[in-house]
Structure 1
Amino acid sequence: MKKSFLTYIIALGIFGIINTELGVVGILPQITKNFQISVSQAGMLVSMFALIIALSGPFMTLLFSGVNRKKILAGVIAFFAISNLVSAFAPNYTVLLIFRILPAFLHPVYFSVAFAAAASSVPKEQSARAVARVFTGVTVGMVLGVPITSFVGDQFSLEAAFLFSAIINAITFIGIISWIPSMPVTEKLSYGKQLKVLVKPQLWLNIATACFILAALYSVYAYLAEYLGNVTNMNGKTISAMLILFGASGVFGNLQAAKLLSKNMIKTTIYYPLVMGVIYLLISYAGAYIIPMTIIIIVWGAVFTGGLIVSQTWLTSEASEAPEFANSLFVSFGNLGIALGTTTGGWFLSQLGIHQITYSGAVFLTLAFICIGLKIKLFDQKQDKIILVKKTTND
């Protein structure tokens, strides 16, 4: 069995989980109507899910750190299938909310184990590419999850929309059970050893970098549809096509970023905020023109998705002794970055107008670049000097 096939099974699970998290956005109007609740109450199905991920991620990952990885992947995806099945036939809003909240606790566990399992399934120099294949599930889930769920809900029913996610989860469960080999934890790290990585100041600079990059990405992307409608003057159908184009180029960009990280992680990370900054500059100058904006969207989608794996690789590189815990930190602080970015982007939009939305992204890119520079200057260069001194002494 090819290792790439195994990672794609895991990626399908990522797609199912992302679809469970974000797909509900496309059916919120039907939920408000079906359960006779307000829009703000329906919105809690999204906000509560994200909040629980951000708060519980590292702790839940620590709790399951000694369990066979195959059992974790299968168990979590089975729970998501059950929660979607119950959601499809929930008798009231309370039951629906409960079965949205419960799987959110396990969301970061699957992600953390998935990234670690993918990376460990191949030689170290190929780990970034293996993780990139898993990230494909994130990309496809983010771009296609909402429109597919919305389409199923509109064409069939609210129940069918939840059942769609349940079926994806069930297929993944069968794939994990049938084809993924047992992955026992050969050396269980104590909670203390895993938590010990948190005392490393360079890790916190990497965490801040990842958080700021995600904030930079989502402070603009969250309002892409509104920007295309109000600034580029695109209609609804064209905007939907642009979002799909954005996601399609993102799959390509994800894999290309992995290749660059495999060659030189530090250089790729340094250049990332600079390249993203150029794209935001182009948007601010050419965003009103349909053809230039279409070209920008293709490039933007590729660079945008590359930022996910750049952030993940940069953060986890400073905690290789506790990979699953490090990945849980990425999931938690990544969600924190998304929340920070969307909130700040919304403030820029309301105070300065949609034309200036790229400025919010530029602010976070600057902060990310500063954190990268500090990390390299204070720690990487210092480490290089220590190695040079040791080598000279030995000679």
Structure 2
Amino acid sequence: MKKNNGLLILILAVGVFGILNTEMGVIGILPLVATMFGVSITRAALLVSGFALVIALSAPVLPLLFSGFDRKKVMLLSLAVFVVSNIISVFATDFDIILAARLIPAAFHPVYVSLAFTVAAESVEKTEAPKAVARVFIGVSAGLVLGVPMTSLIATESSFAFAMTFFAVVNMAVLAATAIWMPAMPVREKQGYGTQLRVLGKPGLWIAIIISILLNGSVFGFFSYMADYLNVVTGMGARTISLMLLVFGLANIAGNIVAGKTLSTHPDRTVVAAPFILSALFLLMSVTGNWGHATAALILPFGILAGIVANANQYLISDSATEAPMFANGLYLTAQNLGITAGSALCGFFISVWGTQYTLAGSILMLLPAILFIFIRLFVTRKRYDTRSFSDKQECCQ
């Protein structure tokens, strides 16, 4: 499978889009859900927060447990679970039923997504792996960007049931495409769970996880409150903010493409440069916050950097545990969700104490230790490389 299989990557990207769409799409229709099922908006929000919590808890475990099974069969199982849950959601008349119908497939979210990254990376030569993974990341970005407005539009123009039907149709299409066109992918060298868990003893992996949490926390810390910042600080109206969110999302997709190229050629430079450029961007945005046109112009590079950071985080963790790719991608998904939680909490703290104009302070604060750990990682990996080179020279001389 060491070739650039365009159809395979496309199926994986659309599959990730369908699953991310199921996760994030309901954000835009939570008020509708609350009204329809007669629950409070905070209880309706469990459809999102509960989903994310299950992902964070299952991401390190289930990808590891399924790592020894045929990858095609595991992906078919994951997609089937999502299809069934979507169909249940279409006909559900009780909130507890629809909540359960979302929490169960949430456990298979990291299974499918981690497999998608792993299969994409293994479908090409090692040097081209970041590009293949970046193409799958386009599905992630599309799910985050298009899922909310598309679901909101469908639900508004028709009904909640039609929105859930949209989720089901997308996942059913990917399920069929996977069954028909994706080849069987048995695991040739099955690794024991103990062998894979041993990667947790690698300091470099923990450093990569910390970097991922901090970088993602910085990006999503501000993004979580970006709409509020643009409204309160910049003075934008609802329509303009919606446009800015769309610009951010499309730029995020472009960032995936850029990351695929830069991580394939200059991975360390990309990882080092990202937090410095992001810091400069946040500082500039904090200065221009009251100027609408200037702030709007900065949303585009912010979206691109967000896409690059997501890919860089995945690269860091997978590169630190190459002997256990599925487990590593599960750890990546956990780190991403922990980053979102920590970033939104820290930025929320700054808002509650000093006001919305200090949202960016939390994001900048998370970048400082991220930069420190990036240089620690460079020192550790360089030292490891130098040690190996010295051992190779000794063997050569003997």
Tell whether the structures are fold-level matches, with TM greater than 0.5.
yes
How far, CA to CA, are the matches of 1:380 and 1:272 in structure 2?
A: 19
Give, in angstroms, the shift of residue 299 of structure 1. 0.9
In the alignment of these two chains, the number of paired residues is 394
Contact 1:4–1:130, Cα closer than 8 Å, also in 2: no
> Could you tell me which of 147, 150, 174 is aligned with 1:148?
150
- In the aligned structure 2, how far is the partner of 1:369 from the partner of 1:165? 39
CA distance in 1, matches of 2:389, 2:337: 39
CA distance in 1 between partners of 2:392 and 2:109 (Å): 45
Q: 2:109 is matched with which residue: 86, 99, 107?
A: 107
- The 5 Å alignment of 1:219-238 reads 219-238=221-240
TM-superposition CA deviations, 1:239-289 (whole Å, max 9, x none): 111111111111111111111111121121111111111110111011222
Task: Work out which of the residue numbers 163, 166, 176 in structure 2 matches 1:164.
Answer: 166
Q: Shift of the alpha carbon at 1:182? A: 1.2
Describe the superposition over 1:33-52 as per-residue Cα deviations: whole angstroms up to 9, x where unpaired. Answer: 11111111111111111111
- Whether the 8 Å CA contact 1:232–1:289 is kept in 2: the answer is yes
1:201 aligns with 2:203: yes
Q: Is 1:17 equivalent to 2:26 in the alignment?
A: no
- Counterpart for residue 366 of structure 1: 368
CA separation in 1, counterparts of 2:250 and 2:48?
Answer: 24
Query: What letter matches 2:261 in structure 1?
Result: K
Residue in 2 that maps onto 1:65: 67
Tell me if structure 2 keeps the 8 A contact 1:227–1:354: yes
* Superposition pairs of residues 114-263 of structure 1, within 5 angstroms: 114-263=116-265
Q: Map Cα deviations across residues 320-339 of structure 1 (whole Å, 9 max, x no partner).
A: 00000000000112111111
Match of 1:77 among 47, 71, 79: 79
Deviation at 1:384, TM superposition (A): 3.0
Confirm or deny: 8 A CA contact 2:4 2:123 kept in the other structure: no
Return the letter of the residue paired with 1:100: R
Question: d(CA) in 2 for partners of 1:190 and 1:391?
Answer: 29
Moved more, 187-196 or 63-72: 63-72
Distance 1:43 1:335 in 2: 16
Mapped to 1, the partners of 2:218 and 2:348 lie a distance apart of 13
1:89 to 2:76 alignment: no
| Equivalent residue letter for 1:315 | I
The alignment status of 1:297 with 2:290, answered yes or no, reads: no
Q: Distance in 1 between matches of 2:218 and 2:141?
A: 17
CA contact (8 A) 2:4 2:124 kept: no
Deviations 1:53-98 (Å, cap 9, x if unpaired)? 1111111111111111111112211211110111111120111111
| More displaced stretch, 280-289 vs 105-114 | 280-289
Q: TM-score w.r.t. structure 1 length?
A: 0.97
Alignment deviations for residues 187-218 of structure 1 (CA, whole Å, 9 cap, x no partner)? 11100001010011111011101111111111
Partner SS, residue 228 of structure 1: helix
Cα deviation code 1:355-387 (max 9, x no counterpart): 11111111111111111111222x223213313
Using the size of structure 2 for normalisation, the TM-score is: 0.96
The 2-side partners of 1:264 and 1:365 are apart by: 21
For residues 46 and 378 of structure 2, the distance between their equivalents in structure 1, rounded to whole angstroms, comes to: 40
Contact 1:253 1:302 in 2 (8 A): yes
Query: Are 2:268 and 1:266 aligned?
Result: yes
Alpha carbons 1:265, 1:314 under 8 Å: kept: no
Distance 1:44 1:86 in 2: 17
* Residue 391 of structure 1, CA deviation: 4.7
Amino acid at match of 1:89: F
Q: Structure 1 residue runs of 4+, over 4 Å off?
A: none
Aligned partners of 1:102, 1:185: CA distance in 2, in Å?
26
Q: Distance in 1 between matches of 2:40 and 2:141?
A: 30
Provide the C-alpha distance between the structure 1 equivalents of 2:248 and 2:43, rounded to a whole number of angstroms: 30
Q: 1:28 Cα shift?
A: 0.7
CA distance in 2, matches of 1:314, 1:205: 9
Contact 1:87 1:96 in 2 (8 A): yes
C-alpha distance in 2 between matches for 1:68 and 1:246 = 37
Following superposition, the deviation at residue 162 of structure 1 comes to: 0.9
Contact 1:85–1:162 (CA under 8 A) maintained in structure 2: yes
Q: Comparing 342-351 with 319-328, which one deviates more in the overlay? A: 342-351
CA contact (8 A) 1:66 1:185 kept: yes
- Structure 1 unaligned residues grouped into runs of 5+: none
Partners of 1:352 and 1:178 lie apart in 2 by 56
1:163 and 1:372 map into 2 onto residues whose CA distance is 44
Answer yes or no: is the 8 Å Cα contact 2:79–2:172 preserved in 1.
Answer: yes
Identity rate, percent = 38
SS of residue matched to 1:317: helix
Q: CA deviation at 1:340?
A: 0.9
Moved more, 287-296 or 379-388: 379-388
> CA 1:321–1:88 in structure 2 vs 1: closer, same or farther (change >3 Å)?
same
Asked if the contact 2:204/2:381 (under 8 Å) is kept, the reply is no
Q: Decide whether the 8 Å contact of 1:61 with 1:112 is kept in 2.
A: yes
Relative to 1, partners in 2 of residues 1:75 and 1:392: Cα closer, same or farther, differing over 3 Å? closer
